[in-house]
Chains A and B, each alone.
Chain A
Amino acid sequence: MRPRSMTLMQKIWLTISMGVIVTVSFSYFLLNYFYQKLYVDKVEQTLIEEGKNLAGDYHGGPITASYRKQVEWYNEKSTAEVLLVNNPRELSACLPFQIDYDSLISESDRAKLLNGDIVTKIGYEKRFGHKIMGIIVPLLDEHRLEGGLYLYIPLASIQDMTKEVADIWIPLALVFVVMLLAVGKRMARHIAGPLKEMEEVAYKMSQGDYKAQIPIRTDDEVGRLAKAFNVMARSIDEEDMRKREFLANVSHELRTPLSYVKGYSEAILEGMVKTKDDEEKYVRLIHREASRMERLVRDLLDLAQLEGKSVPLRKVPLVFSQVIEDTLAKYEPFLCEKQLSLTTDLNPDIIIEGDGDRIEQVIHNLLDNAIRYTPNGGTIHVQLEQTDPRHCQLMIRDSGKGIPKEKLPFLGQRFFRVDEARTRKEGGTGLGLAIVKQIIYLHGGTVSFSSEEGKGTAVFIHLPIWTE
């Protein structure tokens, strides 16, 4: 069975705990080390000084009883143990012989003492049965090692000192560690908590609940992640809403012509139409509604293609004014029909990089709208000009009834109509401006509108000018 892996919180806590424990123990050992070292060094210095002073009173020859007494007296007064060693056995004088005797002064110590050096001993000394810190000062009469002054203090007394420190230090350190561990746990929870909430929200979202939001408590990386998560959730929610709205719109748009088609065709089939003229009228109506459905489906398909970028644009350099004029030419009959006057002011030098058909579609849709909403005898003005060295602006202004200000921001949304009933009657699909917006967006441009109620509407298209 695979062992259960640790949670992030556990990992963070473990890391903090390890850090705390390692730091505390390391500092303890360091403290101990320095304390011992400094203290032991000091003790050694003191012992050497004392030993030298005592040895200064020895003036050669065999060790006298008075000198021994002097050392003994000093031993009583001193905190250190002071031994005067002059037994040749203890001085390892019988060294070349293998005597089963553990001398106080070893062979190597003797060699050092004979050289006049002071011997330092730290560690367990079998003869004393415990650890000591000691020094041996030689008492030399020329080359003759008459004796040695052995000064030592049991290391236990040094360790007692460190123990005292430890007695204070260890409980303090324990409290500190426990405190840090508790704080560490809180910290770990604080860091990993929002992640847990995010996990829950993500699960809710997978169930279709896009309303859930993560409370943002901090402004750190996790907090920012939560914020981004919330933004993402909101976007998904909006997109979901748009999708549903879109479906509702599409079904609504199709339902009207379908009911026309169904109603008139039923009337014909059931023989409710009496005259030939009526029958033709009904069939014409059916045909009109079918055409509308066809347009609707075509526009939807167009929009889907543009949004999905499934059909890439075939961009080539175009003389913009030429494209506009060609399109306008196609509208002459409609203009005449509605007695609209068209004025143009086109800069012929502007070249843009674009897909000819799509640009034409833009002008087409915009003119459609202009013609549709301008009453008979109105005017339409088309203007193309360079706004700056890199951009141009196409403006199509009509003298229609205009759009209320509060509705301007919704222009270009799919199925948005300023006047629901009328547009449908006029035969629009409600997708024209959406398609325009998408095409211009794909050309790297923008669309904006200005309108004054009762006076007319102007559409502005900004496009980058083609440069070699």
Chain B
Amino acid sequence: MRLVCALIVSFCVLLAGCESETLPSISRQIETLISVNVKDGSVTFFDLYKGTTVAQWNLKQPVKGGALFPDGNTLLLYGDELDRVYVYDVVTGKLKNEWKTGKGIVSALVSNDGNRIFLADGRRKAIRMFQMNGKESGEIKVGSQPLTLLQNSTGTRLYVIDFYDEKAYVIDVDKRQVMDTFSVPKFVFGGLLREHEQELWVGGHGSGSTVETKIHVYSLKTGKLLKLIDAPDMPVNFVETNEGVFGLSHGSNMVRKWSKSGQQEASLTVGANPFTMIGANGRLYVASYDSDEIYVIDERTLRIVARWKTGKGPFQLLIRGEDVLGKENSVNR
């Protein structure tokens, strides 16, 4: 009898051991700000309203970014040094799936039609399309470092801006082919697609010791450079909300606000070397890379509302909730 008991106990232990590690879960009801932190390979979940830390996932993996599926509960995490992407269920905290993509995934974007996900592969120099179940459905060759992915509201056009090759690609998603290309400066990074204005705003770091101080605005129709907007130094992230257009310059730690017509209205020095921001519910959330903080800013007044401590090196922000503005424009790496 005792032997049977012992056997059952050891079997249970064995089963528990076999099961994949479960991370802290996040309730379905809470609207969440998700911060992917690259220095310590962690993901921090904040309650969007209360500002409290809901959970901290210490993955200790070289993750560089993530993408949230339309269901709001599935989080995909990638890193160019990882040979696969991880698909987690946020609600249960369990690893749902692993897609063996091979190393080199530098960016990910969920299609606005909710049917597919684009993974930018720096090794294959291609945009790879996956169905939500992980099945690869296509590959389009682009430049060597397709860091910036943007899409139109319907998800039929994909704009890929290369980091090295001074080139932007316009992809017809359904046809799975490059429709058009146009030239951009070197080391451009981050962009904003303004369909209504037919403009593509492109940021960047600058080349060599020259620091990029301008936003390049291109015509969506012709691919021609329309104008340059001052935004020193190194504008790398953009969000457009009902309040206006916001640009984040990491070199000068500055958020700028433009009107819809492109007039600069206000600016704010914020954080230490911030790389990314996201907007929701009238707020801007800015990730301060060097100080490991999230700055919460009122979009209208451009005043700092709160500061939240996050994991080390916050590099990408995602929002799970109803009203997510700027989500579609958030740049994925």
Contact residues of A with B, CB < 8 Å?
Answer: 62, 87-90, 93-94, 96-99, 101, 114, 142-145
Contacts and interface: CB of A to CB of B under 8 A. Distances in A.
A142 B272 contact: yes
Given A88-B211, A101-B209, A93 B250 contact: yes
A145 B290 contact: yes
B146 to A, nearest CB: 13
A144 B211 contact: no
A89 B252 contact: no
A136 B313 CA distance: 23
A144 B205 contact: no
Contacts of B271: 143-144
B189 A97 contact: yes
A94 B252 contact: no
A16 B293 CA distance: 70
A63 to B, nearest CB: 11
A88 B163 CA distance: 18
Contacts of A89: 205-206, 208-211, 251
B92 interface: no
B273 interface: yes
Closest 6 CB pairs of A and B: A143-B291, A88-B251, A143-B272, A144-B272, A94-B205, A93-B273
A62 B252 contact: yes
Contacts of B163: 97-98
Nearest to B210: A89
A263 to B, nearest CB: 129
B291 A142 contact: yes
Given A89-B208, A101-B209, 19 more contacts: A87-B209, A88-B234, A88-B252, A89-B206, A93-B234, A94-B234, A96-B275, A96-B313, A97-B187, A97-B205, A101-B208, A114-B272, A142-B291, A143-B271, A143-B290, A143-B291, A144-B253, A144-B271, A145-B272
Contacts of B315: 96
Contact of A96 (B38, B211, B288): B38
A213 B145 CA distance: 96
8 contacts: A62-B252, A89-B211, A96-B64, A98-B163, A99-B205, A101-B208, A114-B290, A143-B293
B69 interface: no
A383 to B, nearest CB: 113
B330 to A, nearest CB: 16
A93 B208 CA distance: 13
Contacts of B218: none
Contacts of B234: 88, 93-94
Interface string B279-307: 00000000011110100000000000000
B233 interface: yes
Given A93-B250, A144-B253, A99 B187 contact: yes
B233 A88 contact: yes
A98 B64 CA distance: 12
Contacts of A94: 205, 234, 250
Contacts of B250: 88, 93-94
Contacts of B147: 97
Interface string B5-30: 00000000000000000000000000
A381 to B, nearest CB: 119
B301 to A, nearest CB: 21
Nearest to B122: A98
Nearest to B249: A88
A94 B288 CA distance: 13
B256 to A, nearest CB: 15
